Amino acid sequence: MRTAFINQLIEEAKGNENIFLLVGDLGFSVVEPFAKLFPERYLNVGIAEQNMAGIAAGLAMEGYCVYIYSIGNFPTLRCMEQIRYDICYHNLNVKIVAVGGGYAYGALGPSHHATEDIGMLRTIPNMVVCSPSDPIEAKAITSISVNYNGPMYLRLGKAGEKIIHRSKNLRISIGDIIKYKEQDNSDTAILVTGSIADYAINYVNEKKLRWNIYTLPFIKPINKEQLKDIVTRHNELIVLEEHQKSCGVGSAVIEILNDLFNIGEIENYPKIRRIAIDDRFYSIAGDQSFLRELANLSLNKDNIF
């Protein structure tokens, strides 16, 4: 996903002189092409992520569309105060790009397990939260982010994520839910976000389940009309995410459906099963697949209806 992001950002920067990229002393073998083409719009601020957020705010006040880029928790959790006060309070045109969402950098231990970021960032006013499921969605969201004037969070995978979409050019808008597989007479739908979508799709296909599959490239906002349509079609929803269960994607879906049900905009309140990380740390180093299994992020019989 990170390669899809930087390649699309380069294409966008060719026609938009306001795009500026800040990195926190990483991204080597990824960001060099951007730095070579646009040296006057690229800056490595060093291992100083909080300062990077402040610099981004200042550049945005001067009219730039600024991207800050770092690993998982470092441009997010480490900078929460700066994101809230410097960026979101002023509704500035800053895009926070975190590479390695979930357990992508699991081998480096809990400090690199980015598993609370969605919950923390979606609570901040003015912030749009994005979590693409493959490089195609990452490319589309990058393009959208350039044309959106305001704070946005892009939660990317690390590298090597499989492409799940057939079309290389997705046409989506902020908040859209993507129909990956939809058929009539299916009582169960799975909503999934992030690189774990590939696992969900393979599971459904291998087990020959009649489940409809939707990806959520946006966690905040979520298109309410599209979600209402999904609810009218299904009695059971499964939400799969590589994030803490508290305040995650499943929580966002339940919040919206609860409000829609209370004001009478939906009559059917489906059974909802959230598959996410329980309220605990996994203080162990391991690759992404190992940690997903350890955290029980699976569609096994104990986790589904």
Contact between 76 and 98 under an 8 Å Cβ cutoff? The reply is: yes
Domain boundary among 125, 156, 187: 156
Residues 69 and 215 in one domain: no
In a domain, 81, yes or no: yes
- H/E element, 154: strand 152-156
* 46 and 123 share one domain: yes
44 assigned to some structural domain: yes
Q: Provide the phi-psi class of 102: left if phi over 0, else alpha when psi is between -120 and 50, else beta.
A: left
> What's the confidence (pLDDT) of residue 169?
85
* CATH code for the domain of 129: 3.40.50.970
> Do strands 94-99 and 128-130 pair parallel, antiparallel, or not at all (unpaired)?
unpaired
Same domain flag for 16 and 90:
yes
Is residue 15 included in any domain, yes or no?
yes
Which of 195, 197, 133 lies closest to 170 in space, CA to CA?
133
100 in the same domain as 29: yes
Same domain, 85 and 199: no
Residues 32 and 120 in one domain: yes
Predicted pLDDT of residue 304: 77
In a shared domain, residues 110 and 200 = no
Containing structural domain, residue 283? 178-294
Q: In this structure, is residue 167 part of a structural domain?
A: no
CB 68 within 8 A of CB 52: yes
pLDDT of residue 292: 96
Position 220 in a domain: yes
Sign of torsion, CA 264 265 269 272? negative
Is 70 in the same domain as 212? no
Among the three residues 101, 126, 156, which one is the final residue of a domain in this structure?
156
169 located within any domain: no
Q: Which residues of the chain have pLDDT under 70?
A: 305
Do residues 214 and 280 share a domain? yes
Cα 76 to Cα 49: distance, rounded to the nearest angstrom: 9
Model pTM score: 0.96
| The residue to which tokens 């740390």 are assigned | 281
Q: Omega of the bond prior to 221 within 30 degrees of 0, cis?
A: yes
The CATH number covering residue 194 comes to 3.40.50.920
| Same domain membership, residue 232 and residue 141 | no
Predicted pLDDT of residue 27: 76
| Structure tokens that stand for 76 in this block | 């997010």
Same structural domain, 125 and 267: no
Report yes or no on 213 lying in a domain: yes
Q: What is the pLDDT of residue 185?
A: 87
Task: Quote the CA–CA distance of 248 and 101 in Å, as a whole number.
Answer: 13
Using the 3D structure, point to which of 156, 186, 202 is the last residue of a domain: 156
Calpha distance 82→180 (Å, rounded): 37
Query: Which residues does residue 98 pair with via DSSP β-bridges, in sequence order?
Result: 70, 155
Q: How far apart are CA 38 and CA 60, in angstroms?
A: 17
- Domain total for the chain? 2
* Cα–Cα distance list, 236 to 133, 148, 243, 268, 305 (Å): 22, 34, 21, 10, 8
Is 126 a domain residue? yes
Instruction: Kindly state whether residues 104 and 240 are assigned to the same domain.
Output: no
